Amino acid sequence: MKRGAWVLVLVVYLVLTVAALGRSGFQIATKFSEAPLAYSLSAFSAVVYLVATIALIRGGGRWSVVGWVTLTIELVGVLVVGIVSLSDPELFPQDTVWSAFGRGYLFVPLVLPAVGMFYLYTRSRKEGRT
């Protein structure tokens, strides 16, 4: 992946981290009782995005492992929450970052973990760790 494209991916991760932290923080502080599961999942996704962002920036060694784990959690989370939020909307009376596969965030949460995994894979190949 070219450096400019990689910087763009990191910027998107940083923006999504800040957005998820801000959204979940506000929701938990002001209306947690309305949808505790949804708001807790938004907070969880914010933490996952933060750790994934750090892992992608740091790279190499243990940070690659952390990156793979967080990106996998992110991908599974957006897929599971996306399916459940569409098939049983009563479970999510309010949207999370991952609801409807990240529809509220222009589906970026659905695409971003795959892009991050592609980057980790290509970086590991360059470093000879396939």
Instruction: Identify which of 16-20, 90-94, 122-126 has the greatest average pLDDT.
Output: 16-20
Q: Whole-model pTM?
A: 0.89
pLDDT band at 64 (very low <50, low <70, confident <90, very high): very high
> What would the pLDDT profile of 5-61 be if each residue is shown by its tens digit?
889 999 999 999 999 999 999 999 999 999 999 999 999 999 999 999 999 999 888
Q: Tell me, what's the pLDDT at 126?
A: 77
Q: Tell me, what's the pLDDT at 59?
A: 80
CA distance 35 to 38: 5
DSSP 8-state code for residue 103: G
Q: Tell me, what's the pLDDT at 125?
A: 80
Nearest Cα to 70, choosing from 54, 85, 86, 83? 54
